[in-house]
Structure 1
């Protein structure tokens, strides 16, 4: 309704502007603009773009914890519940972008909630990325999916504390890194006179491996040269204790270099055009090597080395300056660094033809001022131009204008647009985009959420009742769906500046490119003039997308279909790969048990719907011919294969690195709480001793016999891996496995040792085409085979297990034969690298479906004594708080045993376009128990 109302305002505004700036037929231009608006909105309506946000109970977890989440899936235009998708996928990847787990969950009217258990074996201490998306969202690229970085820690009193510094200098034209580390125990005593294996690596190779002894003070110093083309964004340090019995103590931390001379300085003219002899506003953004903003200052010089402007960043490396460039002039920016050095950067070359746009979005004014300047040729042409504005993907403003002199000023009422980003575009007479500028509109119409505690003070184990009241900007009650997280500040750090939230994600972040530092900083920016200016700089530097108006008449091909729910879809073909029509397809499933049948259509397609798979579910599908007999064709299951998302997340520093006094006190308090609870409950008093036999792979062709391997991945583990590729399986289960570089070429290896893949007793390398490199051959094989194709993996890497493989598969005079590692793969078909797909049948193992679980919150009787056995870090999680017609709801939970303060974060929506976020704290005091 708002869009339709805005469109009426648009037509009125268009008429008034036309009267003042054009002298040709108003009706003709009105028809052109109406046609542009209709084409754009019809096109965008068919796209049905979705926006997604997940609220989690916290950002930092401990090993064995649970991630609780609620998701809000919106139609991007109306911000109502998305209707196109009824299935959502959730992934967790580690800091190397390796997939840890992937699951799915149904979505109803845009809402769903669930939980993900953190398995310490799969998710050891480190940083991870939580990614959520629908199939339909994949059509719009990486930036369309939702991402959130989380950290998993596992604090024990055996942990080390690491302080390190690094410096990079040029020595003999090589990048030399000098690094100093101090290693201390948890009690701050130095880890002295200890042999440490130190490794430095990026995502492609190991750069340094050295065994060193710490000094009495726990100090280590080293230097090494950094090879060319090193990926400095993924550099990491590995420290492993070499003392006997402590070989498992291994710490990995990111290595940040951030060389000043490698500062990335980008210049972005307002509107995308840098036009000679016209006033231009030029925004800039400076980034360190790890992708974060860095404050800079410098000067602009022309080709005669004359200073023409100066610049200085005002927020996270962003700023702007004014410049009227010359027609044939080359401009250079010079950054001066603290050590006296400097670096120069070229500015874009100014064009002699075009239009500049200058937008003033004053927070205190009710309209947006747009000033346009034209080059002489544009002015002389005398042709009509168009100013269009989109909000939430729909065009809700349009105007035509002429340049009667060099500039035109247009005022656009902010009431034309809803709260959120507005994208202004200047179109040429043939409707090609000339300029683009994004601004933010804030009508301060977000939902008002009140969280009022019934009591003024609370003690340990007290019952806490919160009265929730939600209203709109006019004070009217609002019905809606909300989620509430309550966390213990003594165990969970919350930061409103760094944290993303529902409003900032949906109205801001989802429509911008690249990483946004500290998105919470921009919340309620309209109430702070400094933040409002900083928000405008963010839009100047990250808001440009190059919208292509000329493509509105071309239907966009969608690779990924919308999914209304879980289904099994496939195609049944005969021996000549032709579709089998009207064939009967039967399905037999377990967990839960199900028997169903259907028939193929004219294209041989069949679909089974209404299935609700549990974890580890599998479905056996068989195709029959038109006579009802077992078919001889093939069944191809159509499954969603998502792209590998780019890893744009910055590797987080672990808690134990460069920890200050405040951080150390925080960690110690959490550890003391844990120790007290374990002492009182008797948990973890003794180490569990596990006695396990050797794993055996059935039907293996292992030359050493059953169990004759150093590493074994058996069928049980592979069943859990489902569709995981063989490459990912090896990466996950074999330490050191990956792509390596040596002597000018890449190869797959374990650490620095090359591998040989033996499949069902057959050496696969003998089938390699001569024209193909071994690396490419292995890569194709490893990525085309998944866990469902194989029954077991065995690795032979020590002498006793290598010996028979060396004699069987290596030439007699092979150099360093024991440096070769053998991997025996046992396939289900048993045909080696030649896979024979079964005829007329298929086995489907879908992704696990996230099951709805209730958050456990204990209930205590009156005067229950706090004994420190209840130290929940997430005190309470309520994913489905629904307000009634009066806009109210009541929530009750019990405090834990740790006194201090709790952070309460509530987010939600009325699912009709309005959202709200509220944060507050409550204090938990120590119990004042009566002596009687």
Structure 2
């Protein structure tokens, strides 16, 4: 990645008038070659974001998501890992469910059915997503988002005809919440640049929160040791604010803080340093002016020593220079032309490369792109068709290459100003850079908020001051423990049955059969350690895995010891014992419940998204695909003297000669599979006819599932559980049959088509009060930068919020919102 050129500082009169200080003439360039030589190797950092249709759900609804995986330094879609683990974690730190989502060129999607069977109850859950590769760099890059889940059933009873509401009225709810005690609050002070220095003017930011991390509005006074008032403070946004302070010698400062109810708290400010530097930043007409200031004592001690300034973004250095200060105060412009959008860290070092102060700054860019999502009407009737027109244009009206996901949801009484949850812009450009949870992160990236950049700077001065993620480049170890997964790995060891010695040169055959009967067949040969490996396997949904091993003579021999097929989950660090109680949550829950009451719909009968089933197939389903013939004994089935007589009765076109079974169409014996174990022909004699539960015959091309071993067809026999017949045979270790889970088979979002007649009376009479009206994770503009999607409204009079999120091929995250009303 190219580094920016040094920025030569010119004398700018208006800046002198602005700051009242002297400008540096130049910031000497540290050669680009030196930077490249000293720059540590850059690891492949992945970041992932999940766009969900909503952030609140009722039990029984579905959560829909789209995954965007990007290269951590550029935010460009990254095709490194293809396996993404998506987990829902309960308030008491339990993993409720886990989807393994397939990523292709950095994109993937899926859904989670929030059913009672998962043990879900009302509360705040955590949705998280990560790859195996991310484990190499700790938990900092794991995506985490809070999801609120309601249980509307607790508020109603149903007498068979009508809903009887038990939910309190608004005033009752208010009384309940008013009884809660005011929570204690905490306040922290953050001198700009890191430290207070005696006799140097400093800006001091602060942040006040309650014991749950929620912002608290405060005001107060700052006193010196002699109890003189030296500053006033008042929070201006989310419990944050800033004030000016000039510390003097031998003073310790204290703030007296007051909250709205009159309660007070005294807090000591950080103790001023006797020597040091203060670095401040101001935005003047779109230019970032950095000021370095120090006191007389520090200046005398370091009058001829250079200071080095380094600016990095997401761990990459974009500007570096050094300068000897010839005044106590000096300023320069930060060259932002080649610095990418996002949070940059500016650090000042002394001649010994010891950090003196640090400042975070958000660099915003005008990308000159225009993305819009426009409904064909501003107002609709219930159940009316909606057409959304998407336009994505770059500069000069050139079509924009991007991938989008779209959600249309019932706002359920929530105004735009109350809905500032995480979005793709706030996550990739800010939240993923700062440790800890950011309150209302979407606020800072809504251009309708005129003070958003000022308030974002406050956030960086406070929370970002102590918890910036990219303080150091993630360490690269010689051997990374966790590999980037392209697919599933099935591996293990084949050893001798009654010993520990590995079996070398054994053939291992793997067969995977999914629910549609599609199969994968692979072969490997064990090495000197007896190891085999099938790597980067791609399969979807529940599948049957068959493993069989044979020695060099083609005999079934050996014993399997399997490795784990999927990676264990990352340790859970989420704990959320509080129940949902915010004003926003209460409003949503109450409005959803009112819809049920208004339309007389019991909660369990909510018209939700349905599963679209796959293609229909003819024939009888088998673990091994479609069987050509299947026999299941009935109560009136005749008695047989041995298994060979039963086979001849049950399966047409089969012949028995002595103890050898073959299909008439083939000249050689058929393959025998007993209880999912590939067996020898002589094993048949141990099967008792009365113990047989089912026989399947694959005597056509369908037997190819077994590879060359199925060249003469296959006879699959299942015995009854616990039957004496099966126990007479020796237990086999050379074969394994196991149900395993592949990539999650994502459902297709479904909404009714009211231009077509209902399929049945039940569907026609069922009230449509959906909360998510439309979800599409796969929207891509055409060669003209256009796209169009459509769906049908529910039958509720409401306001619908449309949200488009996505990312361009150059790594620019996009969020676009629009509203329309539905009124009868």
1:595-744 equivalences under 5 Å are 595-599=521-525, 606-617=532-543, 619=545, 630-631=557-558, 634-637=561-564, 639-647=566-574, 651-653=578-580, 664=590, 667-673=593-599, 675=601
Q: Aligned in 2, Cα 1:920/1:275: closer, same or farther, shift over 3 Å?
A: same
Q: Aligned in 2, Cα 1:569/1:436: closer, same or farther, shift over 3 Å?
A: farther
Q: Distance in 1 between matches of 2:280 and 2:96?
A: 47
Aligned equivalent of 1:394:
316
Aligned equivalent of 2:151:
154
Aligned mate of 1:186, from 166, 186, 192: 166
Q: Distance in 2 between matches of 1:578 and 1:426?
A: 61
Aligned equivalent of 2:749:
855
Q: Distance in 2 between matches of 1:374 and 1:576?
A: 78
Q: Distance in 2 between matches of 1:255 and 1:617?
A: 54
Aligned equivalent of 2:77:
81
Aligned mate of 2:772, from 854, 857, 874: 874
Count of aligned residue pairs for this structure pair: 672
Deviation of 1:478 after TM superposition, in Å, equals 0.9
Corresponding position: 1:591 with 2:591: no
Q: Distance in 2 between matches of 1:118 and 1:373?
A: 58
1:617-665 Cα distance to aligned partner (Å, 9 max, x none)? 46465777899884579554375233323226684525999957x9745
Q: Distance in 1 between matches of 2:606 and 2:462?
A: 55
1:539-576 Cα distance to aligned partner (Å, 9 max, x none)? 11122357898989974764432212222355678999
Task: Indicate if the aligned counterparts of 2:85 and 2:99 stay in contact, CA closer than 8 A.
Answer: yes
Deviation of 1:357 after TM superposition, in Å, equals 0.8
> What SS does the aligned partner of 1:343 have?
strand
Aligned equivalent of 1:66:
62
Aligned equivalent of 2:712:
none
Aligned equivalent of 1:268:
190
Deviation of 1:890 after TM superposition, in Å, equals 1.4
Corresponding position: 1:466 with 2:410: no
Corresponding position: 1:135 with 2:62: no
Deviation of 1:463 after TM superposition, in Å, equals 2.4
Q: Distance in 2 between matches of 1:552 and 1:874?
A: 39
Q: Aligned in 2, Cα 1:669/1:38: closer, same or farther, shift over 3 Å?
A: farther
Q: Distance in 2 between matches of 1:438 and 1:116?
A: 38
Aligned mate of 1:11, from 6, 28, 46: 6
Aligned mate of 2:183, from 247, 256, 259: 259
Aligned equivalent of 2:230:
308
Aligned equivalent of 2:372:
450
Task: Indicate if the aligned counterparts of 2:196 and 2:273 stay in contact, CA closer than 8 A.
Answer: yes
Task: Indicate if the aligned counterparts of 1:486 and 1:877 stay in contact, CA closer than 8 A.
Answer: yes
Q: Aligned in 2, Cα 1:301/1:613: closer, same or farther, shift over 3 Å?
A: same
Q: TM-score, normalised by structure 1?
A: 0.64
1:316-372 Cα distance to aligned partner (Å, 9 max, x none)? 11112222334543333332356665332232233333322101134x323443434
Corresponding position: 1:541 with 2:465: no
Q: Aligned in 2, Cα 1:116/1:502: closer, same or farther, shift over 3 Å?
A: same
Q: Distance in 1 between matches of 2:153 and 2:5?
A: 63
Q: TM-score, normalised by structure 2?
A: 0.71
Q: Distance in 2 between matches of 1:283 and 1:639?
A: 47
Deviation of 1:535 after TM superposition, in Å, equals 0.8
Task: Indicate if the aligned counterparts of 1:431 and 1:550 stay in contact, CA closer than 8 A.
Answer: no
Task: Indicate if the aligned counterparts of 1:355 and 1:375 stay in contact, CA closer than 8 A.
Answer: no
Aligned mate of 1:532, from 449, 453, 456: 453
1:213-256 Cα distance to aligned partner (Å, 9 max, x none)? xxxx99999xxxxxxxxxxxxxxxxxxxxxxxxxxxxxxx9997
Q: Aligned in 2, Cα 1:892/1:294: closer, same or farther, shift over 3 Å?
A: same
Q: Aligned in 2, Cα 1:59/1:552: closer, same or farther, shift over 3 Å?
A: closer
Q: Distance in 2 between matches of 1:219 and 1:423?
A: 44
Deviation of 1:505 after TM superposition, in Å, equals 1.1
Task: Indicate if the aligned counterparts of 2:435 and 2:469 stay in contact, CA closer than 8 A.
Answer: no
Deviation of 1:50 after TM superposition, in Å, equals 1.7
Task: Indicate if the aligned counterparts of 1:297 and 1:312 stay in contact, CA closer than 8 A.
Answer: yes
Aligned CA RMSD, in angstroms, stands at 4.3
Q: Distance in 2 between matches of 1:259 and 1:512?
A: 26
Q: Distance in 2 between matches of 1:335 and 1:329?
A: 19
Deviation of 1:279 after TM superposition, in Å, equals 2.4
Aligned equivalent of 1:126:
123
Q: Aligned in 2, Cα 1:301/1:658: closer, same or farther, shift over 3 Å?
A: same
Task: Indicate if the aligned counterparts of 2:218 and 2:260 stay in contact, CA closer than 8 A.
Answer: no
1:705-754 Cα distance to aligned partner (Å, 9 max, x none)? xxxxxxxxxxxxxxxxxxxxxxxxxxxxxxxxxxxxxxxxxxxxxxxxxx
Q: Aligned in 2, Cα 1:313/1:559: closer, same or farther, shift over 3 Å?
A: farther
Q: Aligned in 2, Cα 1:185/1:482: closer, same or farther, shift over 3 Å?
A: closer
Aligned equivalent of 1:371:
292
Deviation of 1:61 after TM superposition, in Å, equals 1.6
Q: Distance in 1 between matches of 2:192 and 2:494?
A: 55
Q: Aligned in 2, Cα 1:22/1:82: closer, same or farther, shift over 3 Å?
A: same
Aligned equivalent of 1:36:
35
Q: Aligned in 2, Cα 1:634/1:879: closer, same or farther, shift over 3 Å?
A: closer
Task: Indicate if the aligned counterparts of 1:635 and 1:842 stay in contact, CA closer than 8 A.
Answer: no
Q: Distance in 2 between matches of 1:445 and 1:367?
A: 19
Deviation of 1:919 after TM superposition, in Å, equals 0.9
Deviation of 1:113 after TM superposition, in Å, equals 1.3
Deviation of 1:110 after TM superposition, in Å, equals 0.8
1:270-419 equivalences under 5 Å are 270-336=192-258, 342-362=264-284, 364-373=285-294, 376-377=297-298, 380-381=301-302, 382-419=304-341
Aligned equivalent of 2:111:
115
Deviation of 1:522 after TM superposition, in Å, equals 0.8
Task: Indicate if the aligned counterparts of 1:142 and 1:646 stay in contact, CA closer than 8 A.
Answer: no
Task: Indicate if the aligned counterparts of 2:509 and 2:524 stay in contact, CA closer than 8 A.
Answer: yes
Q: Distance in 2 between matches of 1:530 and 1:484?
A: 28
1:100-249 equivalences under 5 Å are 100-122=96-118, 123-156=120-153, 158-159=155-156, 186=166, 188=168
Q: Distance in 2 between matches of 1:218 and 1:873?
A: 23
Task: Indicate if the aligned counterparts of 2:426 and 2:442 stay in contact, CA closer than 8 A.
Answer: yes
Task: Indicate if the aligned counterparts of 1:635 and 1:840 stay in contact, CA closer than 8 A.
Answer: no
Q: Distance in 1 between matches of 2:369 and 2:764?
A: 38
Deviation of 1:506 after TM superposition, in Å, equals 0.9
Q: Aligned in 2, Cα 1:594/1:658: closer, same or farther, shift over 3 Å?
A: closer
Q: Aligned in 2, Cα 1:492/1:674: closer, same or farther, shift over 3 Å?
A: farther
Deviation of 1:69 after TM superposition, in Å, equals 1.2
Q: Distance in 1 between matches of 2:113 and 2:801?
A: 23
Q: Aligned in 2, Cα 1:624/1:318: closer, same or farther, shift over 3 Å?
A: farther
Q: Distance in 1 between matches of 2:295 and 2:529?
A: 56
> What SS does the aligned partner of 1:388 have?
strand
Q: Distance in 2 between matches of 1:141 and 1:399?
A: 32
Q: Distance in 2 between matches of 1:843 and 1:13?
A: 70
Task: Indicate if the aligned counterparts of 2:435 and 2:468 stay in contact, CA closer than 8 A.
Answer: no
Q: Aligned in 2, Cα 1:132/1:844: closer, same or farther, shift over 3 Å?
A: farther
Q: Distance in 2 between matches of 1:114 and 1:547?
A: 29
Q: Aligned in 2, Cα 1:879/1:633: closer, same or farther, shift over 3 Å?
A: closer
Q: Distance in 1 between matches of 2:482 and 2:457?
A: 34
> What SS does the aligned partner of 2:537 have?
coil
Aligned equivalent of 2:816:
918
Q: Aligned in 2, Cα 1:366/1:471: closer, same or farther, shift over 3 Å?
A: farther
Aligned mate of 2:804, from 892, 897, 906: 906
Task: Indicate if the aligned counterparts of 1:14 and 1:398 stay in contact, CA closer than 8 A.
Answer: no
